[in-house]
Amino acid sequence: VNIQARTVNEFIPKLKGILSEKIKACKLKLSEMQPTCATPSDRQHKLRRVTNNVQQEFFEAMTASDSRADENLHVSARMYEHFQKFQEAVMKEVPDFFSEKQEKDLDVLITEVRGGALANFMSHPVFRRIILRVFDGPLERHSQTLLEQSEEYLIEACSKFITESCGDGVPQLADALIEECNDIIRTQKEKACVIVKEIRSSEQWMFTQNHYYMETIAKIKAAINDLYKKLTGPDSDGDPPKTSSVHGVPEGFIRKYAQGLEEGATNEKMAIWDMQISLHCYAKVVEKRTFDVIPGIVRHKMVKQLHEELQMIDSRFTNDKIDTLMREDPKVARTRNQCEQSLQRLLNAQRAMRTI
C-alpha cells in the first residue's frame, strides 16, 4: 500500500504538468484560429486591404517597377512578348514584292485591268487588291489571337495577384474577386476588339499622310537613276558599276530596273516594276501603322484600363454579399470548435486534479 501511495504521489505532479502543457498548446492553437473578420467593419477593412493590394501589385507589374521572382507576373514584359509575336506572325505572311513570282502575278493582274485604270496609282484596283490580300486576312487572324492570348494571360496573372492578397481563410472572397476581375478583362477585351476591327476596316482603303511612302519611292528611284547613269556614262565600258540595297529593295531589282531603262524596256514592264516599288513602300507604311496602333489599343484597353477598373472593384460588392463571402471557412470553424472542446475537457481534468 505504501508503495502504491508513493507511486501515485509521484505520478500526480507529472500528470498535472502534462495537462498544463496540453492546455497551453491548445490555447496557443486557438489564438491562431480566431475569426479575423468577425464584424461588418472588419470585413469592409479586409476587402479594401485586399483590393488595394491587388491594384498596387498590378500597377507595379504593368509599369515594370516590380521585381517579383515569378517572371510570369511581369505584366509589361509578357504583354510586350505577345505584341512581338503578333508582329512576327503578320510579317511571315507579307510576300517579297520583288520576287519573280510577284512580278509575274502583277503582269497578269495589270493586263486584266488595262483600259480601266492608269498603272501605278494607289487607287489602282490591282494595288488595292494585293494590299488587301497581303494584310486583311493576316491582320484579322493575328489580332484576334493577340486579343485572346492577352485575355488568357491577364486572367491568369490577376488570379495569382488576388489569391496571394487574400491569403488563407476567405476562399469565397478570392473566388468572387477573381470572377469580377475576369468579367472586367472580358469586357475590356470586347471593347478593344471593336476598335481593332475599325482599324482593320480603315486599312481596306488606301490612304497615308506619312511622308515615308513618297520619300522612300523617291530614294529608290534615285538609286535606280544613279545606276542608270553609270551604265550609260562615259565609263560604262569598264567593270560593271556597283550598287546596293535601298530601304529593303534588293540590289538585283535595282540593277534589273536600271538595265531595263538602258535597254528600253516597255512601258508595261516599267509599270509592273513601279507597282512593285509602290507595294513595297506602302506595305511598310501599313506595318509601321498597325504594329504600333493595334498593340497600343490592346495595352490601353486591356492593361491600363484594367488597372483603373481594379481601383473600383470593391464597389461591386454589397454589404450582404461581403458578409456572405467573408463567412468563415467551415473547415476552419470545425477545427476551432474541436479545439475549444478539447480545451474544455483539459480544463475540467485540471480542476479535478486540483481536488486530489
Residue range 4-15, pLDDT digits in tens: 556 656 777 788
Alpha carbon distance 256, 276 (integer Å): 13
pLDDT digits (tens, 9 = 90+) for 92-140: 999 999 999 999 999 999 888 887 766 656 668 899 999 999 999 999 9
Mean pLDDT of all residues in the chain? 90
Q: Is the pLDDT of residue 277 over 90?
A: yes
10 Å Cβ neighbour count for 131?
21
Cβ-contact 134, 95 below 8 angstroms: yes
- 183-187, 242-246, 262-266 — which is least confidently predicted? 242-246
349: pLDDT confidence band, cut at 50, 70 and 90? Answer: confident
pLDDT digits (tens, 9 = 90+) for 186-203: 999 999 999 999 999 999
- Three-state SS annotation for 291-324: HHHHHHHHHHHHHHHHHHHHCCHHHHCCHHHHHH
pTM value is 0.82
pLDDT digits (tens, 9 = 90+) for 135-158: 999 999 999 999 999 999 999 999
Closest CA to 329 of 169, 178, 162: 169
For residues 224-246, average pLDDT: 84
